[in-house]
Structure 1
Amino acid sequence: MRIVRFFVRLFAVIGFLMVAGAVAAAVFAVRHQPTLPDAVVLDLDLTKSLAESDSGRLSGLLEHQSSLREVLDALDRGRRDPRVKGVLARFGDDSIGFAQAQELRGAIERFRASGRFAVAFAEEYGGAGAGNKSYLLASAFDDVWLQPLGTVGITGLAAELPFAADAFSQFGVQPQFLQREEYKSFAETFTKSGMTPANREMMEALVGDLTNQLVDGIAKSRRLAPAAVRAAIDKAPLLSQEALAQKFIDHVGYADEAHDAALARAGAGAEAVDPAAYVAVAGGPNNEGPTIALIHAVGTITGGKSGKPALGGVSAGSETIVEAIEQAADDPEVRAILFRIDSGGGSVSASEAIRRALVKARQKGKPVIASMGDAAASGGYWIALAGDRIVASPATITGSIGVVAGKFGLAGLSDKLGVHWDRVQSGRNAGMWSPLRGFDDSAMERLNAVIDETYAAFLQRVAEARRLSPEQARGVAKGRVWTGAQARELGLVDEVGGQEQALALARTAAGLAPDAQVTLAPYPPPKSLTEQVMELLSDKGELVGALAALAELRPLLADLGPLLAAAPRDGVQARMPGISLDR
């Protein structure tokens, strides 16, 4: 009882402190009215990954993670604000996604076109790892700095795929999976010891196209010949003086020197301002005019609520997303929906539920523009098919039109542990999904029937949405993964671009001018700080009990999470293979 009372008091104290902190923060916010200096330099931290959507103010109190939308809004608002003179960005490794880097390049180019400067600095572009994407983005800045003894890690792209068949065999685990068709290599992670010819062909084409995009982007921004960029890639990592001599950077210097140089360019009294702080005072670029709903589908597509599973990453829960779509569809103020996707797929049934909600929204007169992030493949492409138009970045990983289903047989592992099972059943296929027995002939027949029907439906959705014949749809499907640029040539997407292009299409679809002022409203609306605190203190909050354990497990989860999270849990799946680029 003493232990129980101790924990009750502990949680009560924690709850009181959090509520008191929230109240104090609110009072401070009311009393403190921040202002901006007359000369602003936007200070971007691009050394860390950018979230696709805002994680909420409460998580921001714990550890703020900038979102892509936040940075885009700051750059877009800043290029129209006479107080903003330029931007200073710090770079590091390749945490930012390839498509995100391309989208930010476009934002920086628009920012510079307005007459403002852009300074990039890094201690190392890549460091102990590759720096392809970080340097690709930095090359769009007009003044690129590198610290002495730093390197430019444009070492080129490589695709690494895990194959765990031998490991499963050692533990007595038997993966049993069926796939449609030969390029649908997701299950091969568990069933093979290396790439199949089809998988290798697909990966070589993918890496080749992305490498061309990398070379062309750097060559254009730095005004270099593509051959010179390819030669540098073969020699990289480039030492600081090598990078300077070959015109990949403009200055060798330290962070304080780059900082001082940027402020000097901005003029007397200039100050560096964080993008979130800037937008909080200046306001976002899309806060006035008719409403366009912004809905995100980020992470593995699952049933239920969106969230952050224990193994890391995020899940795009169909229940959360469908509810957001329905709210936007029923809101008379909403003129169109911008549906942002960053997902490699997941549950077929959950994907179909989301697609259906988007179809119904269009039937209610709400145009839907799908915008693809770093990935919109398999189930991610399935849900994109409901859009009136589909926009992908050149480096978006998309396609993977195929299906996989199966299970892990644990009977061998159980025997090794000395645990033996017996069974009684009614019905020929009772227990067909049990991990303690393999699929017999009857179960295999049913599994094939389910996969065939699902794949046929996927092909039909593609043919109808993209106006392709059944033969054309099958030709671009077969589970093959494409880049956004390749998908545009094949007719799988309508345009190549980022959220700015997708937003222009949403305005047009809503009957507005492509550059009309609009209010870009997230759905579901972000929860207030008070709501998040109360949810945390309710039985929905898991933070207090998990913090210590997660602190110890974080390194292990970072290594094992991607492989463990890849294991199917919801029956028939539409997922792309796990691809690790940039090693």
Structure 2
Amino acid sequence: MFRFIKGLFALIGLITVLLAAGGGYLAYRFLEREEPAPETIVLELDLDQPLAEYVPDDPLAGALFARTESLRDMVDSLDRARSDPRVKGVVARLGGDRIGTGKVQELRAAIQRFRDSGRFAYAFAETFGELGPGDRAYYLASAFDRIWLQPVGMVGLTGIGATIPFAREALDELQVQPELRHREEYKSFMNTFTEREFTEPHREMIEALVGDLHEQLVSGIAEGRGMDPAALRQLIDRGPFLDRESVEAKLVDQLGYFDEIRDAALDRAGAGAELVEGGDYLDVAGRPHGSGPTIALIYGTGSIQRGESGVDPLMGGASMGSDDVAAAFEEAAEDPKVRAILFRIDSGGGSAVASETIRRALVKAREAGKPVIVSMGEAAASGGYWIAMNADRIVAQPGTLTGSIGVIAGKVVTTGLWGRLGIDWEQVTRGRNATMWSPLSTYSESESQRLDTILDDIYGAFVRNVAEARKLPAAAVRDIAKGRVWTGSQAKALGLVDELGDMDAALGFAREAAGLARDAGVTLRLFPEPESPWRQALDLVSGRSEAAATTAVLGRLQPLLRELAPLVRDPAAETLSMPPTGLLR
């Protein structure tokens, strides 16, 4: 009886907490909406920060904790504002080189659409990389009408570079033996563990990637600033630039402080104009694409894994669970209102099995009569390409990292390390290949044969599926596969993607696939749908939100962890992983 009463009071307490949390959230939203937006608006965006590809809608977290910005927030703010007569222009803070090329190109396209609507766009930076690189931040700034730089700031325009760690010597010192194999020579993920320097194919691939991305940087800045590309290359070789040098080189229009560019923007906007932050503007105005026939939007972001999606503390982002993404496709395919599916991918791959689960869900959605258009973000490589290849159309940014059609498998043998630590292990086994996955022994001859069979089978399936999906000869796919990473522009020339463009361009193709005009109004509906505030409150109380708190704690360590990720990830756990390029942010 006592236990029943205790449980009853616990339940009442839980309900009270939920009611308080939900009521507080609803009151917050009500009060927030009560404050009307100004009649004349200058949008203010903070682009001086890392941007997640996408953060699931989480209104309770938004009420209780600091707002988390995402690429989607930024682009949606600009796209909604360009059709709002109250919005006259945008002022953006930028300068940190913490947004990757693919995301920068997505933002540049959104800024260009905003400017094409007759509105102005001002960029402000305290510095474009303070004693560090600022190339991509300046690349983004070059899409704006005018660029202001704070005095004493710099323009760290020095060119694109890639840095990749090689840990073989350290592993030898630790007496750790990597037993890794790949298909084929450009699938260089294992090189971090097995080599002391670039192999020839690895260097060739990185040289080609850096070269293409550098040309994209040059051509984009030259177009935005009205400069000759050859002259700009010479400028880059002279960088970085001090504040006065930046003005003399016409890289910057004016030196000044943020309050000065703010006042200039408000004056241009007209009497009564006020700055409104992008997130606050979206709360009031709502996201774009809110009326018309329904197009489903499914996000596939982060490392691909079996099971549920979650948080990846190491990389500071989401992980893509095959169960959740496949369920989203199934739900969208069964919804009679959905006319087409837009699948946004930002992933360097992961589990081959999980990737196949998602690919099959995409195929089944198409068989159910729902066209699927893929929009590639920062990366859609290895497993990220596997889940994309069967789409009706694939759209990538020129700077997207894609391809990496290959496979890696193996293990890291740690017997020598344990011996140095004075720890001995004994094993009792039955079965010829019982120690195949054990980190305590190298592969026996029969185990080695089975591993090669597995690699050959997965790689063969990858090549065959790409050939069938992309309608390419298998021999041609083998020539461009071999584990090699390509930029989006290179991949288009090879037939791995159909079009170059951003998510807005992919949405246009989704409209066409749904039998609509390319610029028709549509409702872009997220699958799976966001949880209700009550469900979020229950998660908060039950502890499911602890992962988010862990990620926040690790936030300051993530830049270092990203650089060291190839060293701390299990190379045997992700058979379809893009090799490290030293380029992503």
Please report the TM-score for the alignment, with normalisation by the length of structure 2: 0.94
**Structure 1: which 5+ runs fail to align?**
1-8
Deviation digits for residues 408-429 of structure 1 (CA, Å, limit 9, x no counterpart): 1111111111111112211101
- Residue from 393, 397, 416 that aligns with 1:393: 397
2:387 is paired with a residue of what secondary structure?
helix
CA distance in 2, matches of 1:107, 1:236: 28
The alpha-carbon deviation at position 106 of structure 1 amounts to 1.1
CA distance in 2, matches of 1:54, 1:316: 13
Aligned twin of 2:474: 470
The alpha-carbon deviation at position 22 of structure 1 amounts to 4.3
* Bigger Cα displacement from structure 2, 389-398 vs 103-112: 103-112
**Structure 1 counterpart of 2:483, which letter?**
G
**Structure 2 counterpart of 1:89, which letter?**
A
CA distance in 2, matches of 1:554, 1:184: 30
User: Is 2:274 the partner of 1:268?
Assistant: no
CA distance in 2, matches of 1:178, 1:283: 50
The alpha-carbon deviation at position 285 of structure 1 amounts to 1.8
**Structure 1 counterpart of 2:89, which letter?**
G
Deviation digits for residues 480-508 of structure 1 (CA, Å, limit 9, x no counterpart): 11100010111110000000110000000
Deviation digits for residues 216-241 of structure 1 (CA, Å, limit 9, x no counterpart): 00000100011221112111111111
- Residue from 78, 89, 97 that aligns with 1:75: 78
Aligned twin of 1:573: 575
CA distance in 2, matches of 1:542, 1:57: 17
Aligned twin of 2:45: 44
Aligned twin of 1:119: 122
**Structure 1 counterpart of 2:202, which letter?**
N
* Bigger Cα displacement from structure 2, 417-426 vs 373-382: 417-426
- Residue from 448, 452, 455 that aligns with 1:451: 455
CA distance in 2, matches of 1:27, 1:171: 58
CA distance in 2, matches of 1:262, 1:13: 51
Q: Is the 8 A contact 2:381 2:485 kept in 1?
A: yes
User: Is 2:182 the partner of 1:176?
Assistant: no
CA distance in 2, matches of 1:373, 1:527: 25
CA distance in 2, matches of 1:114, 1:554: 37
CA distance in 2, matches of 1:368, 1:406: 34
- Residue from 49, 57, 60 that aligns with 2:59: 57
Cα distance change, pair 309–105 in 1 and its aligned pair in 2 (3 A): closer
Tell me the C-alpha RMSD between the 2 structures: 2.2
CA distance in 1, matches of 2:373, 2:584: 30
1:465 is paired with a residue of what secondary structure?
helix
Q: Aligned runs of 1:182-331 on 2, under 5 Å?
A: 182-313=185-316, 314-331=318-335
- Residue from 528, 532, 536 that aligns with 1:532: 536
CA distance in 2, matches of 1:18, 1:142: 48
The alpha-carbon deviation at position 65 of structure 1 amounts to 2.0
CA distance in 2, matches of 1:264, 1:440: 76
- Residue from 358, 363, 381 that aligns with 2:362: 358
Q: Is the 8 A contact 1:156 1:582 kept in 2?
A: no
Q: Aligned runs of 1:336-415 on 2, under 5 Å?
A: 336-415=340-419
**Structure 2 counterpart of 1:23, which letter?**
G
Q: Is the 8 A contact 1:178 1:404 kept in 2?
A: yes
The alpha-carbon deviation at position 319 of structure 1 amounts to 1.0
**Structure 1 counterpart of 2:26, which letter?**
A
- Residue from 118, 135, 140 that aligns with 2:138: 135
Report how many residues are paired. 571
**Structure 1 counterpart of 2:35, which letter?**
P
**Structure 1 counterpart of 2:577, which letter?**
R
Q: Is the 8 A contact 2:187 2:406 kept in 1?
A: yes
Deviation digits for residues 108-140 of structure 1 (CA, Å, limit 9, x no counterpart): 111111111000000001223211111111111
Aligned twin of 1:108: 111
Q: Is the 8 A contact 1:157 1:582 kept in 2?
A: no
Identity %: 53
Cα distance change, pair 554–504 in 1 and its aligned pair in 2 (3 A): closer
The alpha-carbon deviation at position 557 of structure 1 amounts to 5.7
Cα distance change, pair 452–135 in 1 and its aligned pair in 2 (3 A): same
**Structure 2 counterpart of 1:104, which letter?**
L
* Bigger Cα displacement from structure 2, 16-25 vs 153-162: 16-25
**Structure 2 counterpart of 1:355, which letter?**
R
CA distance in 2, matches of 1:339, 1:461: 19
CA distance in 2, matches of 1:560, 1:73: 30
CA distance in 2, matches of 1:418, 1:58: 51
Q: Is the 8 A contact 1:41 1:262 kept in 2?
A: yes
CA distance in 1, matches of 2:558, 2:118: 45
The alpha-carbon deviation at position 30 of structure 1 amounts to 2.5
Q: Is the 8 A contact 1:159 1:582 kept in 2?
A: no
Cα distance change, pair 515–557 in 1 and its aligned pair in 2 (3 A): closer
Cα distance change, pair 16–406 in 1 and its aligned pair in 2 (3 A): farther
CA distance in 2, matches of 1:337, 1:582: 27
CA distance in 1, matches of 2:253, 2:568: 43
**Structure 2 counterpart of 1:159, which letter?**
A
The alpha-carbon deviation at position 541 of structure 1 amounts to 3.8
